[in-house]
Structure 1
């Protein structure tokens, strides 16, 4: 009888241990189940980001928006069906890269059907696209700056992406609307939304550093130019010379919803520290950028980054990206491995 009880306890312990093991992300999760998966993703990203470098910013933004709603589970990719899904929420209407992820998924499915999650594909593609950003910058651009190192000639930041995420089956527009940080948010709201995901003020500053690449529509900041408090005024926290330039050459009226503006003027294809320099000069494009100067912790973090090395920024940015990529992940038997990223399995 004692021997039987011991066996039952041992079985339960092993079951719990296996469950805990399954519940953890790990490097090389697909090493046996789909050994070519990460190489397939990397090769596709390397080939296509060279022809469409703006997609790097789009993919990292997609990863960010996905993780802030129900965790990093690819719920942002789901189409609306009987309910309105995340991708139709206002913060996600300008997301790009859905077909890019679908193309990767098709390649991986052809290699290993039903093995690699869409959530892992987003996380890996976001990282790989940032790594390759510097490699596509023409050499003459480097000649225009004071130091080659500061332009990141060695490539964009790299971070580990442990895998094993599973895909969610629920996607809700209302949750996306309330959980995703907005370019209009102040520091208090930003801090709350980040804290809800287990991220701190340092993470807020570092992840905002992704604004060093990519573009924005005028509608994301034109209120700062034309109607900041509802009285036809301009945001006093926005550098007046920069504001005048934007009004004259970019967003010529508050209703302009087609013009694209660089978030990091003159350096939008290069992952570097210039975004933070613009923020310190009160030339951050968004209200959320300006908000980073309203708190002693976030402001000092920016100053330390600017007066540090680009290698340090890359390392710190990578740590925050790895941290973000593990928000409320689904592992083990949770969720599913979608056959098509836009649809839950039937």
Structure 2
């Protein structure tokens, strides 16, 4: 059979493994062939003892990537050279899962010493966590490198807050190359998330000086939340599920809740009331497979934000310390 040069180029383009920059689906195939299996087993073991760990890893990954790019900088402890991102306002006392990533990293090191970066382990762990809780499974190109420093300033300014306007949240996403659909799809991670009372308490009592709860919050849910987060006592740190219907299952019920005015966070409920995002919320509430697909696509985009590749950065021996 005769191939023209044009046909040969086409075949190479079609059949070569996908490469994103210097990331590759087959990056560790020869150097650490059991990587995914090791990560999945680590997640499976942890989730048997901690029902919140999947949501915690999603938050950890998002806070790392949206602030200064996906580089595992959020895992670093403070040194004489830099402050730790763990101490940033949006991270302090809320991020968890560090020990699990260190445990998985140690197991990977036993099988494949000095080969797999902490950020690739975290990125893989998040996908496995979503999959093991019933969510989608997306292909991941690997080969990210770890940063050698942290950026607490970026962590303090670039991570969206539940108290911010939708305009500000959208702006923080678009600054990272993410779009409006990514904002809504990635918010769906709250289907297995938890939040402390202080993040939404202002909606429950005397909202904007009105003397009543936020009118965009379902009245029966408002009453339930008032009982869990009383106004007179120190309940600010009490944890509440963002989806009380299927708390530990990754599904589209979060969006059904928004349609029914049962979003706990104001920054979530606004997705249903803003005409830029309402249609996406409704579609995700109706079509679970659409949400699963778009969530996976958005997670791929998120995991490629500001990555370090090639000879830049390093493969850390321990995730909390620079080599």
TM-score relative to the length of structure 2 = 0.89
- Partner residue in 1 for 2:119: 119
Other-structure match for 2:242: 263
1:26 and 2:24 aligned:
yes
Pair 1:22–1:296, CA change in 2 (3 A): closer
* Aligned-partner Cα distance in 2 for 1:46–1:256: 32
Across the aligned residues of Structure 1 and Structure 2, the Cα RMSD in angstroms comes to 1.8
User: 1:187 Cα shift?
Assistant: 0.9
1:326 is aligned to 2:293 = no
Matches of 1:227 and 1:196 in 2, distance apart?
Answer: 35
**Following TM superposition, by how much is the alpha carbon of 1:34 offset from its aligned partner in structure 2, in angstroms?**
1.6
* Structure 2: 5+ residue stretches without partners: 1-18
Give the Cα separation in 2 of the matches to 1:282 and 1:54. Answer: 24
Residues 198-222 of structure 1 show CA distances to partners (whole Å, capped at 9, x for unaligned) of 1111111100001111321111111
Gaps of 5+ in 1: 1-20, 134-154
What residue is the counterpart of 2:229 in the other structure? 251
Q: Deviations over 1:58-97 (max 9, x none)?
A: 0111111110111110011011123322111121121110
What is the rounded CA distance, in whole Å, between the counterparts of 1:215 and 1:260 in structure 2? 6
Q: Of the candidates 190, 195, 198, which is equivalent to residue 216 of structure 1? A: 195
- 3-state SS of paired residue (2:195): strand
Number of the residue aligned with 1:234:
213
Q: Counterpart in 2 of 1:62?
A: 60
Q: Deviations over 1:285-319 (max 9, x none)?
A: 112102212422311001111222x2222111111
8 A Cα contact 1:22 1:332, kept in partner: no
Runs of 4+ in structure 1 over 4 Å off: 230-233
How many residue pairs get matched?
Answer: 302
Deviation, structure 1 residue 50: 2.6
Residue 233 (structure 1) shift: 5.7
- What's the counterpart of residue 78 of structure 1? 76
Structure 1 stretch 166-175 or stretch 55-64: which is displaced more?
A: 166-175
SS in structure 1 of the partner of residue 240 of structure 2: strand
Specify which of 275, 295, 298 is matched with residue 317 of structure 1.
295
- Return the TM-score normalized by structure 1: 0.83
The 3-state SS of whatever aligns with 2:43 is helix
- Structure 1 residues 237 and 333, CA gap change in structure 2 (3 angstroms): same
What is the match of residue 129 of structure 2?
129
